[in-house]
C-alpha cells in the first residue's frame, strides 16, 4: 500500500487514528508499534511483488520465527509454561507472556494483513494458528514433548488438514480413514485446499477412526508426518487468490503413523475441531476486515487525485456515496470485531466455546460480506485500472480475487449463517426450559 494511503480516511481503525478506546491498554499499544515496524519491513513492503511472483522467500518463516512473530498467531492465553521452558518470557513490545490476551492477537492479525493480501501473511500464520492448538490443548504429554518445542520456535512447521474434496464445511462426513494395525495407524484418503500444506513438516489431520457411517462421532485427530514420509504425496493447488499460502492437495496411500501420534482420545476429534473454531474465525474476521480497509482506503486515495469530467472523482456525489456506504459497513464490522475480541479476552475458554460459537460464525461470515462490498467498490472506482493486474489499481484487482477465499474457508458463508441461528435457537430453548423448570419449583 503506498505510504500516502496510510493518512486517508479508513486507512486505520479509529483507535490508531487518535480516537479514545475502552479496549486497548499500554501493552496493546507497545505491541502494535513493534508489530507494525517489523511486519512492514519484513512482509508488507514486498507482499505485492511476492504474490505476483507466486512465491515468498524460502526463509520468510524463519525470519518471523527468529523475530518472535509466529507465536502471536496462537490463541490467547499463551502456553506460558511451554514458552518459559523454551526461554521465552516476553512477546514483542516487551509484553510479558502472562499478560497476552485476545486483543493482542487481534492486533497481530490486523497488522499482518495491512498489505491487503491474505497469501503472504497466510504463508506464515495459518499452520501455527490452527495446527498447533490441538496439540497444546488435547495431546498427551509425550506427544507434546516430541513435537511442541520445534513447532513453537519455528524449527518445524505444521498445518491443519481437515477439508477433503467431498467434505468442506461438512466436517462430519470426511472419508479419510485411519485403521489401527498393531501400534500403527494406516491412513488412506485425500485432503484438499490445505493451507501451508506445501511447507509443513506435519499435519494435525482429521481422520475417520470410527465406522463408515459414524459421522462426527467417528472422527479423530492424528499428527501425520508429511515431509518425505512414505505414502504421502503433495501437490500445489493454483487458487484465485492467496496464491503464496501454499494451498495443497494431499494424497495418503497406506501412510503408517505411530499410534502415539493420536491427539487426545480416539473418536473425539470432532469436539477438538469445534473448540478451535472461535480462534480460527476471529483470526480470519480480523484479517478480512483489514483487507476491506485496504481496498476502501486505496480507492479513497485514488479518488482524491484521479480527474474525470474536469474534476477529481471525490468531487462527484455518486463517488462519495459509494465510499460512505462502504465506510459505514466497514467501521461497523470493525467495532464488532473489537467487541468480540474483548469478550473472548474476558471469558473462560469453555464458556466462550459454548456461548460465542454463533457470534463467531456470524462475525466471520459478515467479514466476507463487507470485504465483497468494499472490494467491488474499489474496483469500480479504480475503473479500468481496477481490472488490470498491474499498475495503479493492482491492489484492488488482487483483493477482489481474494473475496471467495474469505467467504468459503473457515466455514462457508451460508453454512455459518445457518449455524449461528441454529445455535442461538438451541440456547434460547435450553434457557427457556431451565426457567420453566425453576418456575415450577
Identify whether the C-beta of residue 388 lies closer than 8 Å to the C-beta of residue 333.
Answer: no
Choose among 368, 388, 370: nearest CA to 379. Answer: 388
Cα gap 256→228, rounded to integer Å: 13
Ramachandran category for residue 269: left, alpha or beta (phi over 0 → left; psi -120 to 50 → alpha): alpha
pLDDT at 212: 87
Q: What is the mean pLDDT of residues 112-128?
A: 97
CATH number of 3-153: 1.10.540.10
pLDDT value at residue 410: 87
Count of C-beta atoms within a 10 Å radius of residue 430 = 10
Average pLDDT, stretch 215-225? 96
Section 75-95 average pLDDT: 97
Contacts of 117 (CB under 8 A, 6+ apart): 47, 48, 51, 241, 242, 291, 398, 399, 402
Q: Which sign does the torsion angle of CA 21, 26, 27, 30 carry?
A: positive
User: Each residue of 198-213: pLDDT tens digit?
Assistant: 999 999 999 999 998 8
Query: How sure is the predictor about 23, in pLDDT bands with cuts at 50, 70 and 90?
Result: very high
Q: Residue 85, CB half-sphere, CA atoms under 13 Å: how many?
A: 12
Nearest C-alpha neighbor of 413 from the set 361, 360, 358, 371: 361
Mind listing the pLDDT tens digit for each residue in 294-333? Answer: 999 999 999 999 999 999 999 999 999 999 999 999 999 9
Statement: residue 361 has pLDDT above 80: yes
Give the C-alpha separation, 362 to 106, whole Å.
Answer: 17
pTM: 0.94
277 vs 56, residue with greater confidence: 56
Average pLDDT over residues 61-85: 97
pLDDT surpassing 90 at residue 440: no
CATH of domain 158-267: 2.40.110.10
Average pLDDT over residues 137-161: 98
Using a pLDDT cut of 70, give the percent of the chain over it.
99
pLDDT for 275 equals 85
Mean predicted confidence (pLDDT) in 114-140 = 97
Buried-state track 125-147, b at ≥16 Cβ within 10 A, e below 16: bbbbbbbbbbbbebbeeebbebb
Domains 3-153 and 158-267 in one fold? no
Please tell me the predicted confidence (pLDDT) of residue 3. Answer: 36
Domain boundaries, the chain: 3-153, 158-267, 273-434
Percent of the chain with pLDDT strictly greater than 90: 89
Residues 394-409, mean pLDDT to the nearest whole number = 96
**C-alpha angle with apex 40: 36 to 41, nearest 5 degrees?**
120
In CATH, the architecture of 273-434 is: Up-down Bundle (1.20)
How high is the pLDDT of residue 6?
63
The band of 169, judged by pLDDT with boundaries at 50, 70 and 90, is confident
Average pLDDT in the 252-269 region?
97
**How confident is the model over 223-249, as pLDDT tens digits?**
999 999 999 999 999 999 899 999 999
pLDDT-based confidence at residue 182 (cuts at 50, 70, 90): very high
- Cα end-to-end span (Å), the chain: 63
Interval 24-35: pLDDT, tens: 999 999 999 999
Residue 4's pLDDT is what?
38
| Mean pLDDT for the chain overall | 95
Cβ atoms within 10 Å, residue 52: 14
Res 439: pLDDT = 80
pLDDT of 384 higher than 70: yes
State yes or no: pLDDT of 1 exceeds 50. Answer: no
Amino acid at each position: 500500500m503506498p505510504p500516502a494511503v496510510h493518512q486517508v480516511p479508513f486507512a486505520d481503525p479509529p483507535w490508531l487514528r487518535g480516537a479514545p478506546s475502552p479496549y486497548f491498554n499500554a501493552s496493546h499499544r507497545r505491541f502494535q508499534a513493534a508489530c507494525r515496524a517489523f511486519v512492514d519491513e519484513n512482509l508488507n513492503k514486498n507482499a505485492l511483488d511476492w504474490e505476483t511472483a507466486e512465491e515468498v522467500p524460502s526463509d520468510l518463516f524463519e525470519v518471523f520465527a527468529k523475530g518472535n512473530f509466529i507465536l502471536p498467531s496462537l490463541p490467547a492465553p499463551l502456553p506460558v509454561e511451554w514458552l518459559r521452558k523454551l526461554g521465552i518470557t516476553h512477546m514483542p513490545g516487551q509484553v510479558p507472556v502472562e499478560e497476552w490476551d485476545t486483543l493482542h492477537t487481534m492486533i497481530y492479525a490486523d497488522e499482518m494483513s495491512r498489505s491487503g493480501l491474505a497469501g503472504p501473511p497466510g504463508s506464515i500464520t495459518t499452520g501455527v494458528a490452527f495446527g498447533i492448538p490441538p496439540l497444546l490443548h488435547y495431546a498427551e504429554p509425550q506427544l507434546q514433548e516430541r513435537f511442541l518445542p520445534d513447532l513453537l520456535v519455528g524449527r518445524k512447521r505444521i498445518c491443519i488438514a481437515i477439508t477433503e474434496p467431498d467434505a468442506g464445511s461438512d466436517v462430519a462426513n470426511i472419508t479419510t480413514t485411519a485403521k489401527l494395525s498393531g501400534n500403527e495407524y494406516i491412513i488412506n484418503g485425500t485432503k484438499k485446499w490445505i493451507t501451508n500444506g506445501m511447507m509443513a513438516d506435519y499435519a494435525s489431520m482429521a481422520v475417520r477412526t470410527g465406522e463408515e457411517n459414524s459421522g462426527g462421532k467417528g472422527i479423530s485427530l492424528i499428527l501425520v508426518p508429511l515431509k518425505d514420509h512414505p505414502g504421502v504425496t503433495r501437490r500445489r493447488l493454483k487458487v484465485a487468490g492467496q496464491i503464496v499460502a501454499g494451498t495443497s492437495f494431499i494424497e495418503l496411500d497406506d501412510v503408517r503413523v505411530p499410534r502415539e501420534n493420536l491427539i487426545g482420545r480416539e473418536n473425539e476429534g470432532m469436539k477438538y475441531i469445534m473448540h478451535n473454531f472461535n480462534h480460527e474465525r476471529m483470526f480470519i474476521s480480523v484479517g478480512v476486515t483489514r483487507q476491506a480497509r485496504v481496498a476502501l482506503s486505496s480507492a479513497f486515495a485514488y479518488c482524491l487525485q484521479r480527474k474525470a469530467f474536469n474534476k477529481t472523482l471525490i468531487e462527484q456525489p455518486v463517488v462519495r456515496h459509494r465510499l460512505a456506504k462502504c465506510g459505514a459497513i466497514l467501521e461497523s464490522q470493525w467495532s464488532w470485531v473489537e467487541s468480540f475480541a474483548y469478550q473472548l479476552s474476558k471469558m473462560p475458554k469453555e464458556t466462550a466455546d459454548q456461548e460465542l460459537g454463533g457470534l463467531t460464525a456470524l462475525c466471520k461470515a459478515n467479514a466476507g460480506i463487507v470485504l465483497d462490498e468494499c472490494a467491488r467498490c474499489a474496483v469500480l472506482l479504480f475503473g479500468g485500472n481496477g481490472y488490470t493486474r498491474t499498475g495503479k489499481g493492482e491492489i484492488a484487482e488482487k483483493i477482489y480475487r481474494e473475496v471467495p477465499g474469505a467467504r468459503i474457508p473457515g466455514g462457508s458463508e451460508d453454512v455459518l449463517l445457518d449455524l449461528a441461528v441454529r445455535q442461538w435457537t438451541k440456547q434460547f430453548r435450553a434457557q427457556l426450559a431451565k426457567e420453566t423448570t425453576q418456575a415450577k419449583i
